[in-house]
Amino acid sequence: MLKYIAKRIGLALITIFTVATLTFFLMNMVPGGPFLSEKAVSPAAQAALEAKYGLDKPLSQQYLTYMNDALHGDFGESLKQRGRTVTSIIVSKFPVSARVGGLSVIVALLVGIPLGCLAATHRGKTLDSVISVISTCGIAVPSFVICTLLLYFLGSKVKILPTYGIGTWKHYVMPVIALALYPTAYIMRLMRSSMLDVLGQDYMRTATAKGVKPFFRLFKHALRNALLPVITYVGPMMAYTMTGSFVVEKIFTIPGLGNEFVSSIINRDYTMIMGTTIFLATLMVVMNVLVDIVYKIVDPRIKLK
Amino acid sequence: MKKKLAMLLTAAMLVGSLAACGSSDNGSSATGSASATDSTKTDAAATEVSTEGKQLTVQIGPDPETIDPALNSAVDGGNMLLHSFECLLTIDQDGKIAPGQAETWEVSEDGLTWTFHLRDGLKWSDGSDLTADDFVYSWKRVCDPVVAAPYAETVLGMVKGFDEAQAGDLDALAVSAPDAKTLVVELSNPCPYFESLAAFATLSPVQQATVEANGDAWATAAETYISNGPFYITEWVPGSHITMSKNPNYWNADAIKLGSIKFVLMEDSNAAYTAYQSGDVLLIKDVPTQEIPSLQGNPEFHVEPILGTYYLSMNLEDPAFADVNVRKALSLAIDRDYVANTLMQGTYSPAYNLVGEGWVDTDGSSFNANANGGQSYISEDFDANLEEAKQLLADAGYPNGEGLPTITYTTNDAGYHKVVAEYLQQAWGELGLNVEVNIVEWSSFTPMRRNGEYMVARNGWVGDYSDPSNMLDLFCTGNGNNDGKFSNADYDAAMEKAASTMDTAERSAALHEAEDVLMEQVGCIPVAYYNDFWLQSEKITGIWHSAYGYWYFMYGDIAE
């Protein structure tokens, strides 16, 4: 197990290094730059800015400098949000996104798994159809539509929830619903199909024949095996959800990290692009390792090599 | 039994591991709730500060990129600077220059030496004294190549020693403080609009102590953001809000009625509109465009001109536009009234000149009204214009557009840009021309346009100060913003004359002559003048909006 984890960490480092290298050269291939605006800056000021951030040096040298600094934990200063370091921006914004995203993941698991199981056990009945409709809607309707509808009804019409910002628990209700809807729907579907698969297995029939009560059959015998696909999905989903959503954060004015991913690219804020990408890649790799470990625990037959 | 126990244990482990797998969210939601309580605490603390007066909550833009006066080049940041800082001079409700930190000022006869006399007892928001030396430090900082201020040349380029200062010898800049209350500025050539620059946010004083102690980061946290204006920042949560409280050390603090202003940093117009309707925010700048038709005539909906023109740049190095008649035909075929009032829903106004409303002539009157002997350059009679356009094209040797290549129109996709592009396809189609629209992402668009990699491109300019030279300079040979590469000896001569003369009448004539040449030669195609439009609760009193696109909330109040 330990050997396995060590190997995975090694692989993870290579993955992150590759992601960082590719991102670095790809972002520099895109036309435009961080110091462009509708109004031209004087050539002297432009040159001074580029010199200040080392953008006047050859690309290979910039790459080496960046990688060297990054290895020493220095991800540089944001080129657009002058005076703030990339690390300080991520450190201040990630917790906000992680809180909203983390709650959404919990909601998605708590709602998605039971409903998926119910749909499977009631296959072909009304309940199954109702759950199918809900999950199809959840997957098909984009989050900005949900956000707008929620805002319109709960924020503007009924006026029971605040319309913007993050503060009390009330502020979390709408963003969490909007963020949780898609994963909930997805987990429901995954859960339903994998549960159906498991329920049709021989050992389930044996359990039925032995007279095991339906409740135990479902939750003791079937659930553990049926959970595996859900776990596979939950790992990366968690990384995505916790780093925030551009749309949801923008609509509810949540000072989270999701916005930074998109705006850094639009602004050609090179250091922010690198910082956020490396951060997401790291989180993703960590989640995948965790998923593997959870696999092993849920299904002891799986060998981690 | 053993087996059952084992199963139970595994189940427990499963639950445990799921929780561990979700450890980051469980953990963070735990810390989340803890810090949520923390933030409620700080919220409570913030309200404690602001309960000393009314709080005005407004939405006038997203998070500013920077609020360091030297570094800012955007209206978003400018609005923040306006409330937290005060320059030597300010601009009053009528758009006229008014005393700010300087009570009086005078200029020498040759126009080269400006002397400003500061008020008595000026203080920073932290209570320490503010002197003329602070201005000397701040202005030199703007020239510092290490600071790399984008507006350095615009605001200080005419000061003696600027080039040396920008090369690194800051002390070469001819700005001095003979005593604590006097600031003397020597120019290398006369600058008739220097008063406007002395009121320009880039030249706000910054406190040397906090800048030197904190570096660039001084302008990123409320604690280190020492300022000298009517308000000072008490809280800044990036992406959420900036709260400013009344600055008790401000010289005119008695006239300030509000206790604090909360700038909500929303980006989504629908969200802003919802917040406005629910009463959470009393003024919003980002009004959803689909709501505009229903808001017309509503007293809460305001539309006011700002110093800006939406125009089209033709790549004048392209042989297709070599003939002035072709350029003129393209210009005349545009129904500006339809574009501004129908397509753009009245959020823009039709532009029949380049220099629009709000720009001030040398005698203080409207430059726009004085242009072309009081008549607009382009006639408002569109049907006649279209006939003329067709005739001009025929005269140029391209009857019904035959012989002209397909025109590519390049624009980014924001606001009404795409709608205008589609309109141009149709309008120039009337002339028999084939138009292709090329939509480019914003960050790629600017360098493309600057490098001349286009045929016709959307362009726009919002003025920094109300002197028309700020806009007309764009078309001087070699100007960095001369995207169409317009180059005309008469034009350059007129602009040169306007820059060097101190005689106001002569200067005015030269500026008008320049615009005459530009419009005659169709160096660009003006389409519409910019307006700001916003929703404002009728409870707010005493605030105003300027042609620069700035809001002045400092003397505002909220009626009960």
Question: How far apart are the C-alpha atoms of A32 and B442, rounded to whole Å?
Answer: 9
Choose from A80, A88, A163 for mutation: most chain B CBs within 10 A: A163
At residue A214, the pLDDT reads 82
| The predicted structure's pLDDT at residue B299 | 96
Contact (Cβ atoms closer than 8 angstroms) between residue A186 and residue A111: no
**Token pair belonging to B551:** 């809001």
Among B79, B77, B84, smallest CA distance to B231 is for B84
pLDDT of residue B49: 43
pLDDT band at B363 (very low <50, low <70, confident <90, very high): confident
Task: Give the pLDDT score at B24.
Answer: 34
As a whole number of angstroms, the distance between CA B377 and CA B371 comes to: 8
Coil, strand or helix at B303: strand
Domain ranges of chain A: 97-268
Give the pLDDT score at B501. Answer: 84
Which DSSP letter does residue A200 get? Answer: T
A to B CB pairs, distance under 8 Å: 210
Element (H, E) at B557: strand B557-558
Give the nearest chain A residue to B241 (CA atoms). Answer: A165
Contacts of A220 in chain B (CB under 8 A): 7, 11
Nearest partner of B81 among B201, B187, B199, B196, judged by Cα? B201
Phi–psi pair at A168, nearest 5 degrees: -85, 175
pLDDT tens track for A47-74:
888 888 889 999 999 999 999 999 999 9
If you ran DSSP here, which 8-state letter would residue B172 be given? G
Say if the Cβ atoms of B271 and A254 lie within 8 Å: no
* C-beta separation of A9 from A274 below 8 A: no
Q: Nearest-CA neighbor of B549 among B64, B155, B77? A: B77
Classify domain B51-85+209-300+537-559 at the CATH class level: alpha beta
Dihedral angle over CA of B107, B108, B111, B116, nearest 10: -30
Query: Residue A75 pLDDT > 90, yes or no?
Result: yes
End-to-end CA distance of chain A: 8
Q: Are B28 and A99 in contact (CB < 8 Å)?
A: yes
When pLDDT is cut at 50, 70 and 90, the band that residue A159 belongs to is confident
Distance (Å) from the C-alpha of residue A174 to the closest C-alpha of chain B? 13
What DSSP string runs through B489-518? Answer: HHHHHHHHHHHH---HHHHHHHHHHHHHHH
Answer yes or no: are the C-beta atoms of A294 and A231 closer than 8 Å: yes
Residue A304 confidence (pLDDT)? 67
Q: pLDDT (tens digit, 9 = 90+) per residue, B323-350? A: 999 999 999 999 999 999 999 999 999 9
Mean pLDDT throughout A1-13? 84
Helix (H, G, I), strand (E, B) or coil at B264: strand
Would you say residue B491 has pLDDT above 90?
yes
> B503-529: per-residue pLDDT in tens?
889 999 999 999 999 999 999 999 999
Which of B68, B446, B471, B473 has the most A C-beta neighbours within 10 Å, making it the best mutation to test the interface with A?
A: B446
What is the Cα–Cα distance from B521 to B514, expressed in whole angstroms?
A: 11
Quickly tell me which residue has 């025929």 as its tokens: B394
Q: CA-CA distance, A156 to A145, in Å (whole number)?
A: 15
The burial of B5, by beta-carbon neighbours within 10 Å (0-12 exposed, 13-18 middle, 19 or more buried), is given as exposed
Superfamily of domain B86-205: Dipeptide-binding Protein; Domain 1 (3.90.76.10)
Domain-by-domain residue ranges, chain B? 51-85+209-300+537-559, 86-205, 306-532
Among A213-222, B86-95, B396-405, the range scoring the smallest mean pLDDT is A213-222
**A31 CB within 8 Å of a chain B CB:** yes
Residues of chain A contacting B149 with CB distance shorter than 8 Å: 45
Placement of tokens 């949520």 in the chain: B36
Question: Could you read off the pLDDT of B156-183 as tens digits, one per residue?
Answer: 999 999 999 988 899 999 999 999 999 9
Q: What part of A 92-151 touches B (C-beta under 8 Å)? A: 92-93, 95, 98-99, 101-103, 105-106, 109, 148, 151
CA distance B221 to A132: 50
CB B267 within 8 A of CB B275: no
Structure tokens that stand for B434 in this block: 């084939």
Domain A97-268: CATH class, spelled out = mainly alpha
In angstroms, the CA B242 to CA B221 distance is 10
The pLDDT of residue A47 is 84
Distance from CA of A236 to the nearest CA of B (A): 12
pLDDT band at residue A87 using 50, 70 and 90 as cut-offs: very high
pLDDT, tens only, B225-247: 999 999 999 999 988 999 999 99
Percent residues over pLDDT 70 in chain B = 91
Between A49 and B28, the more confident residue is A49
Whether chain B has a CB inside 8 Å of the CB on A210: the answer is no
Residue type, B300: E
3.10.105.10, 1.10.275.10, 3.40.190.10, 3.30.230.10: which CATH number matches B306-532?
3.10.105.10
Asked if residue B199 lies in contact with residue B464, where contact means CB atoms within 8 angstroms, the answer is no
Cβ–Cβ under 8 Å, residues B56 and B553: yes
